[in-house]
Amino acid sequence: MLYRIPLVGNPSTNVALRSKYIAAFGTACYMSVASTFDCFYETWEAACADAVKIGQVSGNAPYAEDYKCQPVGNGDYTLQVGSDVANKILINYQAAPLQSSLIEIKTVPTEVSGPYRNLVEVTTIKPEKDFYCSSGQVNEKGEPLNQREWILQVNRKAHKGEIHSDLADFTWPCEDENCKPTTCTEKLVLQDPADKETPQNDPDRAQVHHVVPRKDLRGCPWGTNAYKNAAVISARLNQISSTRSRRKKR
């Protein structure tokens, strides 16, 4: 159960408008499995704080900012957005739908199909499950490999013994050692977890990442342990991705 604010326009089909709402309201907003786009909040205070900005963000007349949300009595709230007392919007307390696992490629919703999609699945595929189930494969010593170990082995064999990031050259905003804004870039060659000299906390240590996160923005089971949902990236980028996939606390 979350608080939904009433967006103006049709961001479910209007990509440009959808981008505006995401830029303004961040992880509160998402496309659902029902192909609807809405913004949901954990508290009514956070919902009301963003609701007053809807007019301006949508490109329409800005809402008046001198009014406070008022409880309806059934869990919902109203917010007066103009001088007329009847000019109100409803902040609805409702069950939030599951987020879509499709990603947009040139505005087209597309199913995730990662670089390990052709590996044979021999284990149960479930939402929120990590890549530690049996792969049905063994290493050169005849020891069983879990999914994570097999993915890393496939990557290693494809790159003459090195582990390469599947998102090499990806950039994102970060801070340098002096806490000044800069740009970080994902390295091509990562530290191999099988190398005993690689520290556990090395930011360039290779990890197996869930492309569709294990939990959606509501905190419910979402991304699975299917091979098509796997990508090898650095621990640093994996941490950044995990942080950005969480709903903002406001």
Q: Are residues 70 and 185 in the same domain?
A: no
The radius of gyration of the chain from alpha carbons, rounded to an integer in Å, stands at 22
Confidence band for 249, pLDDT divided at 50, 70 and 90? very low
- Tell me the whole-structure pTM to 2 decimals: 0.69
Q: Are residues 83 and 141 in the same domain?
A: no
Q: Are residues 126 and 220 in the same domain?
A: yes
Domain membership of residue 67 (yes or no) is yes
Q: Are residues 71 and 185 in the same domain?
A: no
Q: Are residues 55 and 129 in the same domain?
A: no
Per-residue pLDDT of 40-77, as tens digits, reads 998 999 999 999 999 999 988 889 888 999 999 899 99
Q: Are residues 57 and 141 in the same domain?
A: no
Q: Are residues 147 and 38 in the same domain?
A: no
pLDDT at 104: 67
Q: Are residues 116 and 234 in the same domain?
A: yes
Which of 94, 122, 152 is the last residue before a domain boundary?
Answer: 94
Number of domains the chain contains: 2
Q: Are residues 20 and 77 in the same domain?
A: yes
Q: Are residues 121 and 28 in the same domain?
A: no
Domain membership of residue 250 (yes or no) is no
pLDDT at 106: 61
Which of 41, 59, 94 is the last residue before a domain boundary?
Answer: 94
- The whole domain housing 151 covers 112-244
Per-residue pLDDT of 113-122, as tens digits, reads 889 999 999 9
